[in-house]
């Protein structure tokens, strides 16, 4: 065991635990109400929202899984950079509008908007359940990152005894989430982001200097890993995969319930807009994080005897921890592992809260107890937030994933199917709720079938057209099928005179709030 690193890790973990419990007194509100517990009272300003979104979107997936993919698959791991570049303009367009209508009508979840927009209980229920299911593998990804960080300190994470550190961290996370709600990850995100920036800046200076500079690092990468395979006469090869994963991941990120939870906690639509202008700073950091995978290849960490058992246990996910252990002093390695561990806990907390809000408002209230009081809603959400984390652990144990990124990509295959319902519903009235429901179910079935056919080992599915192979992210194939079904059925419903009338009052609210926001922006 690395004693120094463990002491630093433990001290920082203790700090964020204390902050998690103290957060219940921050920006005080009645935490017996779901809006306060689950959305922080919708009172977070630009700076806090920036940290919260950074902690929400840049997670253990960023620090562990993306470099691991670059380490194992080369240039394909760089998809995360265009993915983020596409994400922020999309959020800029979509979420200020959603925020305005959610604030006006006190909506807690995206499914609340769906219910008001389409007046379809079935569609609302499927959107809510889809959101919950999509979050499960994403939370599991955070726990994978936490487990790798704990293992890097020297703890044996195999067997029943090896689950103890993860269980303790899980219990602490559940406790302060229960106590403080969204305020806890919002406060802890500040510490988490500072730790990650310190780690990345240190790594960008220390490691290349010891490896002979970036020119030497790139020279050490095998040629097939430096560039994507170009299309040829029979296949798109890596180009289609790269573009489709970047696009699919960007569209999915906007739709994930935890992204909605963080954004709806903002105190204004303009706070959302300002954050989309500031968050690309994280994309710059992401570029350096991805390069850690190349640094690990150049350093030859996989061939180092002292790391053999770790790579055997964690696969390529141990590439970055091995790099830190080899090049960093023990205290800095401990800080880096704390950044990874806390970077797992912050989004896991937000995701579990988002899933709990969906279940409470759009499943339990609809099917079990329509007369829930505000106190009933909060109690149910707190319980569900705990059970969601248990489900995420079950996914870790049950799914054979070769890279941790597969967990996130699997969730994306599901959540992207809600795009026609949510985004098209914000910007138009062309789709019928029955068509959207059947399209959504068809997309879910199609995407899941593709992933099952691939034995959950990848989310890239190749289709063959006249002897030409087009491998794309399964989410894109399934979404295309979804939109075709929904569009066709909506047209048929309208032609047959069975179209459902739009909620014109809701649309009027959206347009009024849009005009108000535009005037505010002109004044600025």
Q: For residue range 232-278, list pLDDT tens digits in order.
A: 888 888 898 999 999 998 898 889 998 888 888 888 888 888 888 88
Alpha helix ranges (H) inside 230-373? 238-255, 257-264, 269-278, 280-299, 308-314, 319-327, 330-359, 365-367
Q: CA 337, CA 190: separation in Å to the nearest integer?
A: 16
- Residues 379 and 178: their CA atoms lie apart, in Å, by 9
Q: Give the other-Cβ count within 10 Å of 452's Cβ.
A: 9
Q: Look up tokens 């649309």; give the residue.
A: 507
Angstrom distance (rounded) from CA 436 to CA 26: 41
CA angle 471/288/282 to nearest 5° reads 90
Neighbours of 249 (CB within 10 A): 23
The pLDDT score that the predictor gives to residue 429 is: 72
Beta bridge mates, 461: 472
Distance of CA 236 to CAs 270, 468, 478, 498, Å?
41, 8, 19, 42
Answer for the pair 346, 354: CB distance below 8 angstroms, yes or no: no
Sign of the dihedral defined by the CA atoms of residues 309, 285, 188, 250, in that order: negative
Cα–Cα distance, 520 to 515 (Å, whole number): 9
pLDDT for position 440 = 96
| Alpha carbon distance 459, 447 (integer Å) | 9
> Is 362:112 a contact under the CB 8 Å cutoff?
yes
Q: Each residue of 495-519: pLDDT tens digit?
A: 887 766 555 455 555 555 555 544 4
Q: Report the distance separating Cα 98 and Cα 294, nearest Å.
A: 40
**Residue 127 has what pLDDT?**
95
Are the C-beta atoms of 319 and 296 separated by less than 8 Å? yes
Under CATH, which number does the domain 3-230+258-399 receive? 1.20.1730.10
Q: Residue 405 in contact with residue 456, Cβ under 8 Å? A: no
Spatial CB neighbours of 321, under 8 Å, sequence gap ≥ 6: 64, 148, 149, 151, 152, 310, 337, 340
Q: How many CA atoms lie within 13 A of 302 on its CB side?
A: 17
Domain ranges of the chain: 3-230+258-399
Q: How far is CA 252 from CA 37, 52, 149, in A?
A: 25, 18, 27
Please give the helix or strand (H or E) that residue 472 lies within, else none.
strand 468-473
Alpha-carbon span 417 to 442, nearest angstrom: 9
* Contacts with 372 (C-beta within 8 Å, 6 or more apart), sequence order: 360, 364, 365, 380
153 vs 158: CA distance, rounded Å: 14
Which token pair is 106? 């006190």
- Candidates 301, 285, 297; CA nearest to 225 is 297
Contact 493, 434 (CB under 8 A): yes
Residue 245 near residue 460, CB atoms below 8 Å: yes
Distances, alpha carbon 387 to alpha carbons 354, 392, 411, in Å: 13, 9, 18
State which residues of the chain have pLDDT below 70. Answer: 61, 157-163, 393-409, 499-524
CB 271 within 8 A of CB 45: yes
Contact 131, 260 (CB under 8 A): no
Directed axis angle between helix 330-359 and helix 257-264, to 10°?
A: 90
Report whether 404 contacts 141 (CB < 8 A).
yes
Neighbouring C-beta atoms of residue 120, cutoff 10 Å: 19
> From CA 395, how far away is CA 351, in angstroms rounded?
15
């Amino acid at each position: 065991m690395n004693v120094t690193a463990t002491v630093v890790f433990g001290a920082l973990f203790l700090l964020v635990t204390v902050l998690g419990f103290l957060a219940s007194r921050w920006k005080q509100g009645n935490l017996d109400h779901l809006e306060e517990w689950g959305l922080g009272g919708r009172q977070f300003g630009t700076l806090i929202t920036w940290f919260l979104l950074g902690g929400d979107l840049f997670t253990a997936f960023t620090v562990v899984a993306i470099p691991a993919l670059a380490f194992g698959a080369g240039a394909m791991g760089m998809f995360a950079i265009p993915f983020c570049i596409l994400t922020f303009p999309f959020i800029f367009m979509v979420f200020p509008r959603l925020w305005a209508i959610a604030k006006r009508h006190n909506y807690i979840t995206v499914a609340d908007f769906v219910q008001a927009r389409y007046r379809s209980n079935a569609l609302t229920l499927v959107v809510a359940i889809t959101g919950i299911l999509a979050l499960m593998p994403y939370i599991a990804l955070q726990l994978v990152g936490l487990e790798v960080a704990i293992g890097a300190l020297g703890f044996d994470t195999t067997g029943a005894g090896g689950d103890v550190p993860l269980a303790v961290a899980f219990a602490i996370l559940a406790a302060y989430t229960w106590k403080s709600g969204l305020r806890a990850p919002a406060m802890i995100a500040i510490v988490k982001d500072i730790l990650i920036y310190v780690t990345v800046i240190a790594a960008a200076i220390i490691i290349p200097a010891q490896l002979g500079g970036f020119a030497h690092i790139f020279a050490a990468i095998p040629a097939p890993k430096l560039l994507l395979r170009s299309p040829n006469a029979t296949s798109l090869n890596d180009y289609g995969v790269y573009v489709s994963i970047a696009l699919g991941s960007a569209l999915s990120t906007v739709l994930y319930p935890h992204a909605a939870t963080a954004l709806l906690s903002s105190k204004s639509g303009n706070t959302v807009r300002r954050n989309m202008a500031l968050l690309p700073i994280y994309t710059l950091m992401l570029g350096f994080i991805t390069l850690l995978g190349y640094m690990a290849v150049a350093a030859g960490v996989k061939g180092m005897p002292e790391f053999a058992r770790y790579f055997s246990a964690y696969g390529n996910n141990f590439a970055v921890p091995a790099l830190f252990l080899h090049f960093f002093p023990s205290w800095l390695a401990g800080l880096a592992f704390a950044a990874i561990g806390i970077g797992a806990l912050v989004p896991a907390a937000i995701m579990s809260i988002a899933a709990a809000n969906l279940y409470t408002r759009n499943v339990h209230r609809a099917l079990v107890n329509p007369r829930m009081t505000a106190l009933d809603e909060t109690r149910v959400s707190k319980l569900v937030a705990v059970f969601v984390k248990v489900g995420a652990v079950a996914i870790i144990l049950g799914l054979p994933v070769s890279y941790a990124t597969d967990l996130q990509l699997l969730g994306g295959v599901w959540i992207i199917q809600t795009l026609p319902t949510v985004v098209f519903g914000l910007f138009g009235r062309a789709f019928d709720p029955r068509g959207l429901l059947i399209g959504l179910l068809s997309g879910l079935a199609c995407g899941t079938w593709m992933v099952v056919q691939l034995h959950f080992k990848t989310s890239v599915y190749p289709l063959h057209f006249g002897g030409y192979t087009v491998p794309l992210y399964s989410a894109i194939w399934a979404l295309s099928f979804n939109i075709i079904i929904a569009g066709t059925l909506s047209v048929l419903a309208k032609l047959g005179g069975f179209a459902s009338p739009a909620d014109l009052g809701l649309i009027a609210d959206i347009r009024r709030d849009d005009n108000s926001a535009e005037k505010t922006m002109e004044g600025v």
